[in-house]
Chains A and B, each alone.
Chain A
Amino acid sequence: MKNIIVIFCLLVAGLFYSCDEGNKAVYEPDSIVESTDPISVYFRENFLKPYGTAVRWQWVDRYVDDSKRVTPPFRDVCVPMGEFLKQFWLEPFMITESGTKFMKDHFPPEIVFVGSKMYNSDGESITLGYADAGVRITFTQVNEYDLTNKEWLLLQLRTADHEYGHIIHQRHNLPNGFKEVSPKNYKSNNWLNLAGDVQASGPRISREAISLGMVSNYGTSNENEDFCEILSIYLTSDKAEFEQRYLTHEPESAYQKIDADGNPVVDADGNPVMLDPADDAVKMNEGRDLISIKLNMIKKYYMDNFNVDLDQVRDEIMKRIDEVLNPA
Chain B
Amino acid sequence: MKNILYVFVALITLFSSCDKNTDPVFDKSPEQRLSSVLSEYKAKLTQGDGYWIAYYSGSAILMKFNEDNTVEFKSTYDGGKEDKTVTYRVGASQVPELVFENYTVFQALYEANRSTGEYEFLFDHISDDRIDFISKTDLGDIKTKLTFFKGTPEDIDKVKAMIAKFAKMSFFKKVLVAGTSYEAMLITIPGEATLQVVDEDGSISSKKYDFEVTKDGLLFSPEITIDGIDVASFIYDEGKGQFIANAGGKNISIEVGAKPTAPQKGIYSDFMKTNFKVIENYSYALDSVQPLLKQDIPLLSAFQIYVQWGYVLAYAPKHVDGKWAGFSAFTFAENPDAADELLVAWDSRIYGQWWKDIYYNDGGQKLLGFILDPNGLYIMKAGLDSYYLISNSDPSQYVLVE
Contacts and interface: CB of A to CB of B under 8 A. Distances in A.
B6 A4 contact: yes
A119 interface: yes
B32 A71 contact: no
Interface range for B:
35 or more
A116 B111 contact: yes
Contacts of B17: 15, 19
A58 B18 contact: no
Interface range for A:
35 or more
Nearest to B91: A60
A143 interface: yes
Contacts of B87: 37, 58
B273 interface: no
A27 B115 CA distance: 43
Interface string A18-60: 1101100111010000000100000000000000000001111
B18 A15 contact: yes
Given A7-B7, A61-B120, A119-B114, A15 B14 contact: yes
Nearest to B31: A27
B103 A115 contact: yes
Contacts of A21: 21
Contacts of B30: 27
Contacts of A1: 3
B100 interface: yes
Nearest to B33: A27
Contacts, number: 88
B110 A15 contact: no
Interface in A103-131: 115-116, 119, 121-124
B99 A25 contact: no
A117 to B, nearest CB: 9
A11 interface: yes
B11 interface: yes
Interface in A251-295: none
A8 B103 contact: no
Contact of B31 (A29, A37, A74): A29
B180 interface: no
Contacts of B137: 69
A299 to B, nearest CB: 40
Nearest to B24: A25
A61 B93 contact: yes
B101 A71 contact: no
Contacts of B115: 122-124
B103 A143 contact: yes
Nearest to B32: A27
Contacts of B130: none
13 contacts: A11-B10, A11-B14, A12-B14, A18-B14, A26-B29, A27-B32, A61-B120, A61-B136, A69-B137, A71-B103, A71-B110, A72-B101, A116-B111
Given A21-B21, A72-B107, A73-B102, 13 more contacts: A1-B3, A4-B3, A7-B7, A11-B10, A12-B14, A15-B13, A18-B18, A59-B101, A69-B137, A72-B100, A75-B84, A116-B111, A124-B114
